[in-house]
Structure 1
Amino acid sequence: MPYHLLSIPFEHLQALANASLPTTPPYTQASDALPPAFVATRALEQMAAGASAYWCSTFYIIATERQHIVGSCGFKHAPRDGVVEIGYGISPECRKQGAASAAVLALLQLAFDGGATQVLAEVNPANLASTRVVKKLGFVDTGSYIDETEEELVRWRVNKVDWCPLSLPLH
């Protein structure tokens, strides 16, 4: 099933930051497909501080044929020393259908086209589905750490010079 990304409109980010659900016609939306309030708030704060919308915008992940929002994704910040971090989430009812892989692949293309030299994804090691996604797309495990909330995370990185989208198995 093909997917595409759609930048979440500013008004939708404002609604999400206030914990309300934006109306999304012509799109339908799966349950738990929209980004959490803290993601929308982070994007709005970065934009207010003058950050480029290219790097702080959040995207709907849309199942193209059905015009159905299945998740969200985006960059967590503008590149720092060439490194940008991504985040993504898929509605539980829409998982295992290729949406996460398609979204991360699109984010990689955007990141490298936008001048980033390395993309970072931090994944809880218990999240086997996300681990499979990043491994499949060429990310390399660079070690784990415990974050400020006491969650163990594995840092996965992919370098622009090593990345070849044409050689990736997407199915």
Structure 2
Amino acid sequence: MPRLVIPTARLELVLQTPDEALAWVESLPPEVQAEVSPDWVARVHSTLPGDPWSLSYTVKERAGQTSVGGCAFKGPPDANGMVELAYGIDEGCRGRGYATEVAAALTEFAIADERVRIVRAHTKPENGASARVLEKCGFTKLGEVVDPEDGLVWRWERVRVLDA
């Protein structure tokens, strides 16, 4: 089965297999691993290869195919047409605009699906860099919410504009 790749100007978001996604989580430092959703990990265990909504993506530089981070949707579109995205760029690769490219690519991928009406993301209040990324990608900050896994976060959404 060919692997799904979402291209950007400088990056490729390469869909992982379930085994690759689980191995990636295991490879993370404990403090980062603790931030990965247990519900998402449980879903990956029962997900078939090729599911763009339930598996993670490796973010690679196109030029050298070097991994610079990861990203994912937190599940398929729900009954209200909402999907949530998550992304992270490796510490040594930050400050280059990669997070903005990743968030924009995931958002456009989601909005291209007719089931999706809302793309959501959460940031920790102290993470100004992620807030700037989402602002650049057209998200609106809705306010603070308490996420069951992440605690107090800022909720961001981008609503799909429907053709008239």
TM-score normalised by structure 2 residue count: 0.78
**Alignment match, 1:53:** 51
TM-superposed CA distance for 1:118, in Å, is: 0.8
- Report the residue type matching 1:10 in the other structure: P
For structure 1, the 5+ residue unaligned runs are 22-31, 163-171
The answer to which of 137-146 and 40-49 deviates more is 40-49
**Alignment match, 1:165:** none
**Alignment match, 2:81:** 82
Instruction: Indicate conservation of the 8 Å contact 2:17/2:49, yes or no.
Output: no
Identity percentage of aligned residues:
28
**Alignment match, 1:92:** 91
For structure 2, the 5+ residue unaligned runs are 1-8
SS in 2 for 1:119: strand
TM-superposed CA distance for 1:9, in Å, is: 2.4
Aligned length: 149
Question: Over aligned residue pairs, what C-alpha RMSD do you find?
Answer: 2.8
Q: Distance in 1 between matches of 2:97 and 2:39?
A: 27
Inter-CA distance 10–131: structure 2 relative to 1 (3 Å threshold)? same
Question: More helix per residue: 1 or 2?
Answer: 1
After superposition, residues 66-145 of structure 1 pair within 5 angstroms as 66-80=64-78, 81-115=80-114, 116-145=116-145
Q: Distance in 2 between matches of 1:132 and 1:152?
A: 18
Instruction: Indicate conservation of the 8 Å contact 1:13/1:44, yes or no.
Output: no
| Partner deviation per Cα, 1:80-119 (whole Å, 9 max, x = no partner) | 1111000011111100111101111110111011231110
TM-score normalised by structure 1 residue count: 0.75
The answer to which of 115-124 and 5-14 deviates more is 5-14
TM-superposed CA distance for 1:143, in Å, is: 1.1
**Alignment match, 1:157:** 157
SS in 2 for 1:138: coil
- Report the residue type matching 1:83 in the other structure: M
Instruction: Indicate conservation of the 8 Å contact 1:72/1:89, yes or no.
Output: yes
Instruction: Indicate conservation of the 8 Å contact 1:13/1:40, yes or no.
Output: no
Q: Distance in 1 between matches of 2:39 and 2:153?
A: 23
- Report the residue type matching 1:13 in the other structure: A
TM-superposed CA distance for 1:14, in Å, is: 3.6
